[in-house]
Homo-oligomer: A and B are copies of this chain.
Amino acid sequence: MAMAQQRNGSADAAAAASAEPGWSAAAPRLRALALELIAERLAASADELIALAGGETHLREARLSSELRRTTAQLQLFAGLLRDGEVLEATIDRPDPNWPSGPRPDLRSVLVGLGPVLVFAGGNFPFAFSVAGGDTASALAAGCPVLVKVHPGHPRLSDRTAALVSDALAEAGAPAGTFALIHGEAEGRAVLADPRVAAGAFTGSHAGGRALYELACLREVPIPFYAEMGSLNPVFVTREALTWRREEIVAGYVASYTLDAGQFCTKPGFLVVPEEMGVEEAVAACIREMPAQPLLNSATGDRYQDALWSLRDQSAVTTVVAGDSDREAPTPSLLAISARSLLANAGTVLTECFGPTSVVVGYRDDDELLALAGAFGGQLTATVHAERGEEVAVQLLERLAAIAGRVLWNDWPTGVAVSYAMQHGGPYPATTSPLHTSVGTAAIRRFQRPVAYQGIPDPLLPPPLQEANPWGLPRRVDGRCQRLVMQGEPSQEARR
């Protein structure tokens, strides 16, 4: 299997297209094995990878170590999904001349890979949202060859990770062309326009994501483009909550927004609190003595200072703590604004500032608190800190569930579990596709399409749909889910 780092993207797209039929048709357990082998290779090279990542991103070793564990566990989680097989959604409708909407033929459907997927790696998670991250894992699991457009912030780590991925895929018997790297912005755009590419995924800024999304939509043959473009992650604190848990809330806020220099798409960018309760001063006291933390790279530093100053320059915004303006490693900043000013200037104030800055918003009463909840656009997360039994909390939760993919209670949004119920997505501008998540098991759905077979003789059906069910998949038959009896398990045929 060629790694093709130096080839051009068109050749990589061609190789991916020729790999696609074999990879998509492979038994799920073969793709599972491939994902497990990738996880093994990454884990076996952990020290080397973490050192490379540390050198290129300046992230802490402990953080990188846990991020790599998360990344390998994520690959294993998708492998487990494939071994179970339910994600193929094999569905069988037997012929029924009396079906109410009209006579029904023998109809069987299964989800297959969409085709080659172009992944634009994120910069702030050099493992979990990069070469072997969640987009790659879920696309490979779906049966799609993957082209990864390398993030310029960690090219050497990307090359090394790709070599490990390619070796693992080759060992698992994946077709040549199942995986390749793309270097360079222009090359990334060119590959996105390639007719052989069937979908795109992106993690990064709004400007970058929107531009690529429009390219994907306006192709002669448009393709789905899943862009996760960041979020303001507002946190709403009731007067009761602040009264009873002031220290805990202040400490949690500071820890969450300054963690790893605030370089998370789930960083709480706005803390909405009762004014005149001294939250700004308490937060300021916590951060004034905090040491500088290095940013990912100087480009991130430049964008951070630009975004910070565009907020500080607004007359409605007060600078409570002006962190030092070192572009490589600033200390945290804290801004403040009143609810009235924010509501009057939402268009200019509600912008993401990627780095160690957050804005405290002071409200006078619950009407202002609820009005603020309605002022934010689509978000990855929104959080409520409240005491049980507060009526305003009920209203807040309802409003926030309408704009956010994930709603939290007395917790902080940084930290995204990779599990079944995770929704890491949300209405625009958080993402371009509110139906989907980029983290968790449902991320695979972005890259699957259904194919229905009508009246096909059994031996010509793909294995998931053959009567004998050779892959032992759970299947929905006439609307009800059926699982084969597994060794050691009691017989069961579940109605689903």
Contacts of A432 in B (CB 8 A): 222
Contacts of A411 in B (CB 8 A): 105, 454-455
CA distance A107 to B441 in the complex (A): 13
Q: Across chains A and B, which 8 residue pairs bring their CB atoms closest together, nearest first?
A: A494-B494, A73-B101, A73-B100, A423-B452, A101-B418, A217-B217, A109-B421, A91-B421
Q: Other CB < 8 Å A-B pairs besides A21-B402, A406-B452, 16 of them? A: A21-B398, A92-B421, A93-B420, A93-B421, A99-B417, A101-B418, A109-B420, A114-B434, A224-B434, A393-B460, A408-B453, A409-B460, A411-B455, A425-B450, A437-B450, A483-B496
Q: Does A457 count as interface, using CB distance less than 8 angstroms?
A: yes
29 examples of A-B residue contacts, CB within 8 angstroms: A21-B402, A66-B102, A73-B100, A77-B100, A93-B421, A99-B417, A101-B418, A102-B417, A105-B417, A107-B419, A109-B420, A217-B217, A221-B429, A222-B428, A223-B428, A224-B433, A224-B434, A393-B460, A401-B451, A404-B451, A407-B451, A407-B456, A409-B460, A411-B454, A411-B455, A422-B452, A423-B450, A435-B449, A481-B494
In whole Å, how far is A387's beta carbon from the nearest beta carbon of chain B? 10
In whole Å, how far is A259's beta carbon from the nearest beta carbon of chain B? 14
Contacts of A425 in B (CB 8 A): 450
Q: Does A476 count as interface, using CB distance less than 8 angstroms?
A: yes
**Those of A454-470 within 8 Å (CB) of chain B:** 454-457, 459-460, 462
Q: Does A51 count as interface, using CB distance less than 8 angstroms?
A: no
CA distance A448 to B401 in the complex (A): 13
Q: Does A415 count as interface, using CB distance less than 8 angstroms?
A: yes
CA distance A378 to B427 in the complex (A): 29
Contacts of A454 in B (CB 8 A): 406-409, 411
- Report which residue of A21, A104, A421, A459 has the largest number of chain B beta carbons within 10 angstroms of its beta carbon: A421
Binary contact track A154-186/B, C-beta < 8 Å → 1, others 0: 000000000000000000000000000000000
Q: Which chain B residue lies CB-closest to A104?
A: B417
- Copies of this chain, count: 2
- Report which residue of A99, A101, A445, A479 has the largest number of chain B beta carbons within 10 angstroms of its beta carbon: A101
CA distance A474 to B495 in the complex (A): 10
CA distance A417 to B456 in the complex (A): 16
Q: Does A189 count as interface, using CB distance less than 8 angstroms?
A: no
CA distance A434 to B225 in the complex (A): 12
Q: Which chain B residue lies CB-closest to A102?
A: B70
Q: Does A108 count as interface, using CB distance less than 8 angstroms?
A: yes
Contacts of A66 in B (CB 8 A): 102
CA distance A415 to B462 in the complex (A): 23
Q: Does A478 count as interface, using CB distance less than 8 angstroms?
A: yes
Is there contact, CB below 8 Å, between B494 and A483? yes
